Amino acid sequence: MPQEPSSVTPKIKFDTQQAMPLVSILLVFLCGTVYVMAASNGPNIERWLANNGLIAAPASKAVAEAFSYLKMAFSGNMAALAPVQADIGKFFTFCFNNTFASLDIPQVAVNCFFLWAFGASMEQRLGLPRFMMLCILGSTLPWALCYYEVVGRDPNHCYYGPYFLFCVLVGASFVFPPEKKINTEWFKSARGNIFAKKEEIDYTTRYQFKPMLFLVLFICYEVGMYFWVQQTHPLLKNASILSGVASIFLGYVSVALMVWSATGSLKDGPIRLMTVKMYNDILRLDVGHETAVKGTSLSLGLPPERVKEWVSKQKGKMRIS
């Protein structure tokens, strides 16, 4: 008996970007640059961190001053807009310096390693513009959350480092669970095909990592670093639990929304998803747009105009595979 077509929407998968992860390279470069900038001010980097890190007492004073100017601006005093703009600039400068700050060379090295491990793989998934947006969110919003967490509880310690950005990237990685792959080389050997050519490694596999392994390493590193910093530099703190959890949630929700914006229309029906998938598969054969549209139209029995409409709605979004 002929099988009835399934009403279940096929699972949506995304192509990884066949490109160099430029934003991740930039993150590593910024981490090293900020350390060099801090070290150039003298051997006492702790003093530089205290001047540029998050300490609740002076931060609370700066926030109160900024809100007073903002209130004056809303009251009609246009002269107050200049201090408000200056405070916004100071906030982004603070976020930049603090996110990529490190205490010493070993910490710089490990921070660069985790920025590359978490960042390069995620950038291949999201693409450069979306990943850049995620990094901007991860470098700014968590510091505001941390401020409200520590302002009344911990007014004296200085918080610094890329911990919150790491947490955002970890949360984002939960949106893309690792795919299980079957080792086909064993089957080839079992069939006696000893001269089978080894499969070429995809360009992006060099940027992939085992999420659970690096997650365990990340947790062990942050816990160890937290206690080491507390013992050797009592003024400093490199992590905050509640803000870290909030940052993980922020990363997950942000990327989930990006995925939803790329696939929301495709979930309306399996035919639309199949159309976009087949169009992308034909396009990979190094043919033009019109040829891919015609091939998809003939294969699925759809009008070319409908194929063009569905494909055009996916332009600029994450590519379906």
Q: For 130-157, how does the pLDDT look when each residue is reduced to its tens digit (9 = 90+)?
A: 899 999 999 999 999 999 888 878 888 8
Min mean pLDDT across 39-48, 188-197, 244-253, 271-280 is at: 188-197
Phi, psi of 320 (to 5 degrees): -80, 140
Most confident of 34-43, 97-106, 294-303, 306-315: 97-106
Q: Report the pLDDT value the prediction gives residue 321, as an integer from 0 to 100.
A: 59
pLDDT: which is higher, 293 or 30: 30
Rounded to an integer, what distance in angstroms lies between the CA atom of residue 26 and that of residue 199? 31
Rounded to an integer, what distance in angstroms lies between the CA atom of residue 131 and that of residue 194? 42
211 neighbors 178 (Cβ within 8 angstroms): yes
17 neighbors 123 (Cβ within 8 angstroms): yes
Rounded to an integer, what distance in angstroms lies between the CA atom of residue 274 and that of residue 320? 10
68 neighbors 166 (Cβ within 8 angstroms): no
Q: Report the pLDDT value the prediction gives residue 124, as an integer from 0 to 100.
A: 84
User: Is residue 177 scored above 80 in pLDDT?
Assistant: no
Structure tokens at 42: 């003298």
Arithmetic mean of pLDDT over the chain:
79
DSSP string, 55-121: EHHHHHHHHHHHHHHHHHHHTT-GGGHHHHHHHHHHHHHHHHHHHT--SSHHHHHHHHHHHHHHHHH
Phi, psi of 213 (to 5 degrees): -60, -50
Q: How many CB atoms lie within 10 A of CB 25?
A: 15
280 neighbors 319 (Cβ within 8 angstroms): yes
Residue type at position 138: G
- Banded model confidence at residue 195, pLDDT cuts 50, 70, 90: very low
Min mean pLDDT across 21-35, 108-122, 165-179 is at: 165-179
Rounded to an integer, what distance in angstroms lies between the CA atom of residue 213 and that of residue 225? 18
Q: Per this entry, what is the length of the chain?
A: 321
Domain topology for 22-175+208-262: Rhomboid-like fold (1.20.1540)
Q: Report the pLDDT value the prediction gives residue 196, as an integer from 0 to 100.
A: 45
Q: How many helices (H) and strands (E) would you count in the chain?
A: 13, 3
Most confident of 50-59, 75-84, 91-100, 146-155: 91-100
Upper half-sphere CA count for residue 70 (Cβ side, 13 Å): 10
121 neighbors 30 (Cβ within 8 angstroms): no
User: Is residue 98 scored above 70 in pLDDT?
Assistant: yes
Q: Considering just the CA atoms, what is the radius of gyration of the chain in Å?
A: 25
DSSP 236: E
